[in-house]
Structure 1
Amino acid sequence: MDVSNPEQPKNKILITFGNCNTYFQRQLVSQLFGININDGDMIVKDLVWKTKYYRVEFDMYIDAYDNFSSWFQEFISEEFAALREVLAGVVVVDQYNSATQLNLQGLQDTFVVWMNTDSRVNQELVDEVNDQLLQVEGNTFELVNLHSTGDTNEYGEKIGIPRFKEIMDTCSWKNCNIDYLTTSSTANSTNPDVSLEWVFQRMQRARLKHANNEMDNREAMQIAQEIAEELTGREV
């Protein structure tokens, strides 16, 4: 099978660890994906991600590195182009460094999450970084803090591991065989052409404008109506 074919399903999740022992790797994979892995596992096939709306099968690739810059240069090389074509998501588990540069070209329809392991990085900094990233058109990168306290930030948005699971829930799973679990009444009232990812991004941008006092209540209501119309496929 030619995995470089753009019509191939994007049903692989790559998780790579920097300077983490194998016990921590097993523990975190269990927390993030609800599965148990063994020491030395590099590929785990036929996994299932299930939400209240759908279920989809995926494979997990597990990697590790000593130097992220070297690993990333290898990852974005032509040699690994076929792999990048089938990735639904990339998860980097390491201490976050604001100086780290990521060239995410060639990762269309692929989310990239940096799971910060540095307890000195607080949630306020994480929110600030993500607010800046929201302003970058086409950005698919997000910083998630493993040391967050609680499940939500001051805006009521999920943080930490709950946020990662939310990212997985709203993954596009392009070209994948998705088994939708919605009831017929829900399916008939929802526009199938609108992705949940679009809804979350729209809401996040609105929240950013509101936080910066760039949006009044009237504009907020207008955005809410636009989202409702997109979801239902009709005016409300």
Structure 2
Amino acid sequence: MTAVGVPQNKILVVFNKNRIPQTLQREFLQRTFDLPIENDSSDSIIKGIIWKNKYFELQLDLYIDEFEDFEEFVYEYCLDEMSELRSVIAGIIIIDDTYHFEDNKLVNKLQTDSGSETSSSFMVIGNFEGDYEEEDIAQWRFPSESMTNDEDIIAEYVPLDKHFRMEKNSLGDKVGVPGIKEKLDLHEWNPNCNIQKLDQIQPTHPPSNMDVDISAIINQLRDARINFQTHKDQEEAKSIATALAESIVVKQSADFSCPDI
């Protein structure tokens, strides 16, 4: 349950103080949340940030913090005294450059030991460690496939590079700052955030083509998910999803139809 009258629209961004310099912190915040260059990102709270995509917009507040000892940060965040803060946090973004899989228990503890307040929040680990090869990016993006321990991963991992050049891995998944932004786009925001719908998906019937554009279909489905989550009216949302599915079926049928003999 959120604090009375307070929207669950706060994003907590936490940096490893000893590993992520202030200049890198500032650039990450500016690029991720489209802050103006002249904005003083050293402030611990930045209010009224407009988060906007093709389908909705809402106002966010950034809570910016640092840690020297990750375990100590987790312990303090899970204290009963922090329950009111946790109730208004929509998501936590942890930025480090030395994160290792043995820290999974601490990350999971942020969710499991902090009470029901965090059940609807997301958690992302952004890692600046090293220069990534394509196969490394895919591994970090899907860590459960290569893990050797028994910990279930609650947080999602997004590799970052200090030159902010990464956008997608070889599988077409968004990484870098675009990967962080995608988490916010796909998050199921609490209705108390006063989400403003901007558009809705309109089914189209593209020309027949023997080459099926799989990436376009994936993008349509991703857009559909974002759009679906912005509709409070479930019947309206279902009709949009059905229309999209029908448009994809029509495209597939047209692409694979046999020519008349």
In structure 2, the residue matched to 1:9 is 7
1:139, distance to aligned residue in structure 2 (A): 6.4
In the other structure, the counterpart of 1:117 is 128
Q: Does 1:180 align with 2:177?
A: no
Q: Which residue of 2 aligns with 1:71?
A: 73
Pair 1:231-2:248 in alignment: no
Q: CA deviation at 1:39?
A: 5.7
Q: Identify which of 185, 188, 200 aligns with 1:169.
A: 185
CA distance in 1, matches of 2:2, 2:27: 30
**Distance of aligned partners of 1:234 and 1:42 in 2 relative to their CA distance in 1, 3 Å threshold:** closer
Asked if 2 retains the 8 angstrom alpha-carbon contact of 1:22 and 1:39, the reply is: no
**1:151 maps to 2:154:** no
Counterpart residue number, 1:220 = none
> 2 CA distance for matches of 1:158 and 1:73?
31
**Structure 2 counterpart of 1:59:** 61
The CA deviation at 1:125 is: 2.6
Paired residues in the alignment total 196
What is the distance in 2 between the residues matched to 1:11 and 1:29?
16
Contact 1:172 1:195 in 2 (8 A): no
> Which residue type is aligned with residue 185 of structure 2?
D
CA contact (8 A) 2:55 2:199 kept: yes
Instruction: Let me know the Cα RMSD of the aligned residues.
Output: 3.3
Structure 1 gaps, min length 5: 188-193, 200-227
Q: 2:102 aligns with which of 99, 103, 117?
A: 99
* CA distance, structure 2, for counterparts of residue 129 and residue 118 of structure 1: 15
**Counterpart Cα distance in 2 of 1:126 and 1:90:** 18
Within 1, Cα distance between the matches of 2:65 and 2:81? Answer: 16
1:89–1:111 contact (8 Å) kept in structure 2: yes
1:162 counterpart SS class? helix
- Equivalent-residue separation in structure 1 for 2:239 and 2:67 (angstroms): 46
1:32–1:139 Cα change, 3 Å: same
Q: Match of 2:102, SS? A: coil
Shift of residue 154, structure 1, vs aligned partner: 2.5
Residue identity matched to 1:10: Q
Query: How far 1:23 moved relative to its partner?
Result: 1.4
Is 1:126 the counterpart of 2:137? The answer is: no
Deviates more, 1:27-36 or 1:121-130: 121-130
C-alpha change, 1:24 and 1:58, in structure 2 (3 Å) is same
Residue of structure 1 in register with 2:233 after alignment:
none
TM-score, length-scaled by structure 1: 0.71
Q: Deviation at 1:111?
A: 0.9
Asked if 1:31 corresponds to 2:34, the answer is: no
**How big is the shift at 1:157?**
1.5
How far off is 1:171 after superposition? 1.7
